[in-house]
Structure 1
């Protein structure tokens, strides 16, 4: 399948009204423009996406619960608002999916665990509440690994989710169901969580845009317990930068740190002119490129593709300076991350279940993680946080002479779908987080970051890279991402399903 339309830098198309593509292939921005023009309704868009879900979800196991009947009623109400010239937002009527660790009223919220298999929240988490207030339509929940603590997507409740680009392989995790949906056309938007790379790495494995907001940009309320306090954020997963920017503004409450734009909010109804704010392309930037962390292997196809990105950014008149990643980032991965994640799981289980906890309901990997967490001391956790403080100081010093960082998003290409991690990368043995070395430090430092597609490997398997900014750089990241997308578009690529 190909996109015959010519994409504009803002993610819209020059031939929306006569597009031969089915509605499920449209971006959220395209749907919005067609709703405004009256050439498509939310009812018809939802039906197209529902038909796509029925056709491909059995192949992927990405959506684990649906609400299509309620969604149909909401699409009818949205259609009426558009016809009256009173949409709730530019994305009124746009369907989306929600990751299974983000509460949606009345839908299962299993967290990929048998311990939560019967949980149905009575309230939406704030992020869902905000998107629904903008008229967006939740169609279902997406699959995750157990407690969203692994880099693939499989669990004892629903089984494995597979990658639309190669169904023998994983889409990554923990937002694996979310990315599989967007990559396959089950909605143009998904929201996921990123606590150690769980949006960026899966997006890199499926050819998507994934935004990890900085600390505090998207507030969290009415959610599940925090396993990674302050590190796990909610962000958008989309096919285009314009869609990611618009959804991120809705999630953040209307504007972004450093945002000089009006935030994408509509004038007070009734309104007939729906404007999609253009992303401002940045002046030449100083970009530090870390192709690897010394001692951590990177798949050669990923290294070659991200090297090309560095050259492309230089070709867009940015100053790209290639350096080795600081040694403290490897120290964080080996010394601090295990302590933070293991104690976080153990503390969450203790606070939620206490003596009633049934360890046998968990997989051996999560049992081992919880046991390790219980054996750690307060001193261990103190030392881990002290290392994080030192790492933040080094990163702050780096940003004194650089505007943004460029890194691979993942060190490995996708691996078999039921395996928790690749055993080797570039012929060298690696542990469970060997594929994930480039992402978790961003969460611990509270920084914003975006994954974007790079050139796929020789088989067509997607490869991604990430741009990381200092606190408050959300708009700068989106501006550079839009500039890169305009020069090297990707949204026309679809997996064969």
Structure 2
């Protein structure tokens, strides 16, 4: 018998409509699952049971009247801890941010609340969401449910660990350089980095990565991802209702497969799974051809991204004091020192590289419809370690595992992360599809078609997180 915490959004809505399950019962099941597994993975760092149950009771009354607000009415959804939610703290993984409850939701969270979603928990992040693993001085290390010795990635590590482990069917997160897509890949989930401007934002934290960071959904299927996207991207709905049951499969597409960025190493297991994904896409009738990424991608990764992220941190912490700096991790303190040392001309040059990247990607999409890449260059590494130091036997820098993602943010493009077949030892592996600006609906349609061709077997990270085992 399936427990309510195992149900996806579509199944929850059907059960609510049939009155075989209530939102109160579903929330209780999800919170029981949280109690059972969170001590092992440290995904959730704040919760508001009282407010969530009050909202669940209101949702239950709406379903009994046959008047739900949306398909998300009564669905428990967690929120990443750099997105303010009324009644819960927003610490940004930093000891510098106070623990008091926020007074209002950031606008995408408010849209979910207005649609009846139950915003029941906040999920862990690395300090200032600027690293590719999830650990901080306030809440500690988040672990991958599939192997708790390993990281789920970052910066949405808490979000993906929660959804993968059954703590809610979906999560609201952010992606400034791959922070949705890489963690989704490491935990067997679907995640969308929307086009720039697709999900309007207001009433949030100070902008760390101007023009780069977006809010997007994480879910266990593309259909559920679309259900969340319908709510948080209101400008998309008048153009395309994105009904996950009727979104048509796309016509044959031209897809460029980038297996490397300027020769950077990729784990051989990921290479193997990418070849299988390319074959599956061909089986759907699409034209997949090997191609090289333009040089502007590598230039952005090496010369622009480090400047944009370091100066962003320096800007947010402009008024901080040496006493404040001492409360940061050594890695973020070093990034802050770098950001403060950079000159206006350095930022100007980084922006020049970013504009060149956008021009180069415009040229790419004159020839093809989509780009296929791995979501990550490395398999997950030890949970307390900030990054892998080697990939496929080659030494790499702290961003070596992340070469496939930040350029998408730099160009303002949408990208959808989907699960490929897992490794022989059961670890999830993911890939991403990148489209031109505004092609979010096309990516979702292809994601749905890919899942229909080979429906993923529903796996849960057991027995390592079995409810029968002590936490």
Please tell me the TM-score bracket, short chain as reference.
over 0.9
Contact 2:90 2:102 survives alignment (8 Å): yes
Q: Which of 447, 451, 463 matches 2:429?
A: 463
Question: What is the aligned partner in structure 2 of residue 371 from structure 1?
Answer: 337
User: For residues 340-489 of structure 1, what are the structure 2 equivalents within 5 Å?
Assistant: 340-350=308-318, 353-355=319-321, 358-489=324-455
Question: What is the aligned partner in structure 1 of residue 170 from structure 2?
Answer: 189
Local SS of the residue matching 2:252: coil
State the 1:278 CA deviation.
Answer: 2.1
Local SS of the residue matching 1:114: coil
Question: What is the aligned partner in structure 1 of residue 468 from structure 2?
Answer: none
Local SS of the residue matching 1:139: strand
Contact 1:291 1:307 survives alignment (8 Å): no
- Distance in 1 (alpha carbons) for counterparts of 2:331 and 2:237: 38
Q: List runs of 5+ in structure 1 lacking aligned partners.
A: 1-19, 265-275
Local SS of the residue matching 2:372: strand
Contact 1:105 1:123 survives alignment (8 Å): yes
User: CA offsets, 1:246-305, max 9 Å, x none?
Assistant: 101100126358x43x355xxxxxxxxxxx652211010011110111321000001110
User: For residues 13-412 of structure 1, what are the structure 2 equivalents within 5 Å?
Assistant: 20-253=1-234, 255-256=236-237, 259-260=239-240, 262-263=241-242, 277-350=245-318, 353-355=319-321, 358-412=324-378
- Distance in 2 (alpha carbons) for counterparts of 1:310 and 1:392: 25
- Distance in 2 (alpha carbons) for counterparts of 1:106 and 1:90: 24
State the 1:356 CA deviation.
Answer: 7.4
- Distance in 2 (alpha carbons) for counterparts of 1:105 and 1:76: 18
CA change 1:254–1:389 in 2 (3 A) is closer
Q: List runs of 5+ in structure 2 lacking aligned partners.
A: 466-471
CA change 1:249–1:426 in 2 (3 A) is same
CA change 1:283–1:357 in 2 (3 A) is farther
The alignment's TM-score, normalised by the length of structure 1, stands at 0.91
State the 1:117 CA deviation.
Answer: 3.7
CA change 1:329–1:305 in 2 (3 A) is same
State the 1:119 CA deviation.
Answer: 4.4
How many residue pairs match? The answer is 463
- Distance in 2 (alpha carbons) for counterparts of 1:228 and 1:446: 12
The alignment's TM-score, normalised by the length of structure 2, stands at 0.96
State the 1:40 CA deviation.
Answer: 1.3
User: CA offsets, 1:227-256, max 9 Å, x none?
Assistant: 100111000000011110110110012635
State the 1:188 CA deviation.
Answer: 0.1
CA-based RMSD: 1.3
State the 1:68 CA deviation.
Answer: 1.2
Contact 2:180 2:193 survives alignment (8 Å): yes
Contact 1:215 1:233 survives alignment (8 Å): yes
